[in-house]
């Protein structure tokens, strides 16, 4: 699954580059918050893991509310930065709005 995702993203980036759109792009990857450890529809375990965090999707524990994200753009002044600060979904709008120069 990850190989297919990697190939697909590579094709998108390549297409943006070929069409001279990559230089004006912001690429954002964002995970959903936490893996479910059961399937509410069918009742089967799906063996999702949020280790080393506790909890699962829908819980208030770290494994249910924390996720990862990555952002890439040629406009970024500081690169290769890892932040462990809290970031809420509502932070994306003003962040991307500012990045777009609005």
Q: Which tens digits make up the pLDDT trace of 17-36? A: 999 999 999 999 888 777 77
Q: Could you give the count of Cα atoms lying within 13 Å of 59 in the half-sphere of its Cβ?
A: 15
- Quote the pLDDT of residue 69: 85
Q: Could you give the count of Cα atoms lying within 13 Å of 50 in the half-sphere of its Cβ?
A: 24
- Quote the pLDDT of residue 14: 97
- Quote the pLDDT of residue 25: 93
Confidence of residue 102 (pLDDT cuts 50, 70, 90): confident
In the chain, the percentage of residues whose pLDDT exceeds 90 is: 25
- Quote the pLDDT of residue 4: 92
Query: Per-residue pLDDT averaged across 1-11, rounded?
Result: 89
């Amino acid at each position: 699954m990850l190989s297919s995702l990697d190939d697909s993203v590579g094709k998108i980036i390549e297409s943006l580059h070929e069409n001279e759109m990559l230089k004006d792009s912001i690429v954002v990857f964002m995970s959903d918050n936490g893996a479910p450890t059961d399937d509410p529809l069918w009742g089967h375990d799906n063996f999702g893991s949020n280790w080393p965090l506790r909890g699962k999707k829908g819980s208030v524990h770290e494994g249910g509310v924390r996720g990862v994200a990555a952002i890439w753009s040629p406009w970024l002044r500081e690169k290769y930065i890892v932040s462990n600060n809290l970031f809420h979904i509502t932070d994306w709008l003003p962040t991307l709005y500012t990045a777009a120069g609005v």
